[in-house]
Structure 1
Amino acid sequence: MKQASHPASRAASTTTLVSRVSKALRSDVLHGDYRSGDKLPSEAQLTRIHGVSRTVIREAIAALRSEGLVEARQGAGVFVLDAISSAFQRSRLDVDRQRLYSSLEILEARTPLEIEAAGLAAQRRSPVQEEEMFEKHTALISCLNDGTHWIPNDIALHLAIARATNNPLFSTFLEMQGNSVIPQTDNTVGNDNDDVITYRHHLIKEHERIVMAIANGDEQGARDAMREHLKGSLMRHRKLLHDERIRFAARLSQQD
């Protein structure tokens, strides 16, 4: 009597088949056997060509889609994309990873400076500067559902706090970073889903605690609120970088 194979063995076998088929299809695309705009054979045809199940074919196609080599068009099939465009998309992933590193570096540099700035602002702000901070915070609240204007208004609030130190070097540092002073991940333009809105609510509360502590002349409270805000940002972006590394490693393993 034939012994049933272990589930782990079957999974490993499927992974090997997916890798083999995706590698063969990738080679066909990159060597011009399937040209830009060509429709790939149907699942049934690819199943016969490669001698594997439809599940394997679907996973192999998914691997090519994640690399930007093909795209599925509903009701029409799977089509080959331009290889140059695909290379550009892969290069953009590399740029995005580098931007994440830069964002973390900027956050690390900002943290001690802005903690001190919050404390100094609580000591030194003028009535006009205090009013400006409240105005910028109100403007940020108005952008809750507006990804286009969220980041500029976030930066404007931090600049108002820096100016309230009455030491121009604090605001000069932030101005030198431009838009990169606020890491652009889930808060980027065009991304206004429920999770992002909830995240912005959280940021508004963090900013409110900073502004209120400064307005109340609470030097230590302002420092603590700014520290909590920026340390939270560091943790969130380190997690994002960690998750991105895992996804990148998974893509590489699919190509082996």
Structure 2
Amino acid sequence: MIRPKERLSAKVADALRSEIAQGRVKPGDRLPSESRLTEIHGVSRTVVREAIATLSFEGLVEARKGAGVFAQEARGGPFVNLDAGRVSSIIELLELRIAVEVESAAFAALRRSPMQEERIAIAHHAVIDCLAAGKPTRDLDFDFHLAIAQATNNPRFAEFLSLIRLGIIPRGKLQTGQDDVRPRDYNVHLQGEHDAICRAIFASDESAAREAMRTHLKGSLARYRALLHETNHTGS
């Protein structure tokens, strides 16, 4: 089986993670500066920042404004082994998101305020504008789902999405030529599926909102499964 090439940011994160795990960088130690890390690993600042963001998400480092990035005691907890550059990790999270966000949409249909409805609409149209401009949609896609979670008026839904944000906004170049880990046909379905979710929520149709979100996330799951199969059976 031919595996995709590792992303540069994953390699840098692995190297820093190893330094911490083996005690060469101890809790409380300051990591080399961003510019120094680019020299050590021969990568761009963007790659270094992405690697640091991954380690920060895992709780292995802490960025202190004006002071630098410092190693922390390794912690246990949910999602610490999440690798947002692996399609398999995205699939794992999508299965979990189906269990949570289907009900999130239903609650939003019943509980949203006029202001929250407006936020969902604004987020939806921002995605459409991004699609029309041919730009990556990952950040605005997250904003759309977060707006729905907030419209449940149960803060735990939004907290959950924020906790797994790194996996919802995958970074890397597994398949497309952009800084995005998405199947090639992902955006073809995005607008129509989001449209259906909005229509159901705005109509206060709990059942339709639930079904529209399920259709959207299960469609994404199927497309990522196809991408995983393609990635593991082709090479570059």
Residue 228 in structure 1 maps to residue 218 in structure 2 = no
In 2, Cα distance between the equivalents of 1:127 and 1:96?
37
Flag the 1:163–1:187 CA change in 2: closer, same or farther, 3 A. farther
Shift of 1:165: 0.2
Kept after mapping to 2: 8 A contact 1:147/1:189: no
The residue number in structure 2 matching 1:63 is none
Partner SS state of residue 143, structure 1: helix
Report the number of matched residues: 154
Residue 176 in structure 1 maps to residue 163 in structure 2 = yes
The residue number in structure 2 matching 1:147 is 135
Kept after mapping to 1: 8 A contact 2:90/2:168: yes
Flag the 1:187–1:159 CA change in 2: closer, same or farther, 3 A. farther
Q: Deviations over 1:85-121 (max 9, x none)?
A: 9xxxxxxxxx989711111111111111000000000
In 2, Cα distance between the equivalents of 1:242 and 1:225?
26
Q: What one-letter code is carried by the residue in structure 1 that aligns with 2:113?
A: S
Q: Deviations over 1:66-90 (max 9, x none)?
A: 99xxxxxxxxxxxxxxxx99xxxxx
The residue number in structure 2 matching 1:161 is 148
Kept after mapping to 2: 8 A contact 1:163/1:170: yes
In 1, Cα distance between the equivalents of 2:201 and 2:111?
9
Q: Deviations over 1:195-225 (max 9, x none)?
A: 95x6424211100100110010000000000
Flag structure 1 segments of 5+ consecutive residues without an equivalent. 1-65, 68-83, 86-94, 252-256
TM-score (norm 2): 0.58
Aligned with 2:109 (options 110, 122, 129): 122
CA RMSD of aligned residues (A): 3.0
Q: Percent identity?
A: 43
Residue 243 in structure 1 maps to residue 233 in structure 2 = no
In 2, Cα distance between the equivalents of 1:138 and 1:157?
9
**Which has the bigger relative contact order, CA under 8 A and spacing at least 6?**
2
Flag structure 2 segments of 5+ consecutive residues without an equivalent. 6-40, 43-81
Flag the 1:246–1:186 CA change in 2: closer, same or farther, 3 A. closer
In 2, Cα distance between the equivalents of 1:97 and 1:172?
19
Q: What one-letter code is carried by the residue in structure 1 that aligns with 2:217?
A: L
Q: Which moved more, 1:182-191 or 1:108-117?
A: 182-191
Q: What is the correspondence of 1:1-256 to structure 2 with a 5 Å cutoff?
A: 99-144=86-131, 145-148=133-136, 150-183=137-170, 189=178, 196=184, 199-247=186-234
Q: Deviations over 1:4-54 (max 9, x none)?
A: xxxxxxxxxxxxxxxxxxxxxxxxxxxxxxxxxxxxxxxxxxxxxxxxxxx
Flag the 1:187–1:135 CA change in 2: closer, same or farther, 3 A. farther
Shift of 1:190: 5.7
> Which structure's CA Rg is the greater one?
1
Q: What one-letter code is carried by the residue in structure 1 that aligns with 2:110?
A: Q
Kept after mapping to 1: 8 A contact 2:108/2:148: yes
Kept after mapping to 1: 8 A contact 2:83/2:167: no
